Amino acid sequence: MISPELIRRYPFFSGLNFDQITALATVADEATVEAGHYFFREGDKLGKLFLIMDGEVVIAIKVPDRNHVQEVAEQIMGNFITEDVTVSSVGPGQLFSWSALIPPHVSTASAKAVTRTRVLAFDSEDLFKIFQEDCNFGYVMLQKVAGVIRQRLRDMQIQSLAFTSA
């Protein structure tokens, strides 16, 4: 458990009442990782929702490596060489790992710390229990997470345009 005051500082949690912030604090831990740490990789099963306190994390997806000739048969079989492409950069006060709250809870991208990064990590199973007890709270939080998803999709769209024109 962390201090509710720590959560209250971040605009993402604005509009939540004291009981809701306290409930979040009971399922959160603070962690610090070094640059290069992968929080998760594309396709991993996720169990934590993260909020960055300090540092920077890049969100990256795998795409076929344009520097290698890729046979169609290999591509169909899923045997092709890939490279990671950054689609978003996330900094202090921003949330990542939203897939931990959305079934099937599998990451759609990788998340890697590019600097020493301090995060709040919220256990998603414990969050679900809280949301079942207070459906209004769950609704409000999922609306906030939907805003994050919308922004990431926009980031990905912009980045994919830059990638395809290169």
pLDDT, tens digit (0-9, with 9 covering 90-100), for 89-110? 999 999 999 999 999 999 999 9
Q: Which residue do the tokens 């897939």 mark?
A: 99
Q: Are strands 48-54 and 110-113 parallel, antiparallel or unpaired?
A: unpaired
Domain 29-165: CATH superfamily, name plus number: Jelly Rolls (2.60.120.10)
Q: What is the spatial distance between Cα 94 and Cα 19, in angstroms, rounded to a whole number?
A: 22
Residue 166 has pLDDT above 60, yes or no: no
Q: In this predicted structure, what is the pLDDT of residue 16?
A: 96
Name the band, by pLDDT with cuts 50, 70 and 90, for residue 73: low
Lowest mean pLDDT of 21-25, 96-100, 117-121, 158-162, name the range: 158-162
Give me the mean pLDDT over the 78-86 stretch. Answer: 74
Q: What is the spatial distance between Cα 148 and Cα 154, in angstroms, rounded to a whole number?
A: 10
Residue 70 has pLDDT above 80, yes or no: no
How many other β-carbons are positioned within 10 Å of the β-carbon of residue 95?
A: 24
Q: Where are the domains of the chain?
A: 29-165
Contact 43, 82 (CB under 8 A): no
Name the band, by pLDDT with cuts 50, 70 and 90, for residue 77: low
User: Structure pTM?
Assistant: 0.86
Give me the mean pLDDT over the 15-26 stretch. Answer: 96
Q: In this predicted structure, what is the pLDDT of residue 156?
A: 74
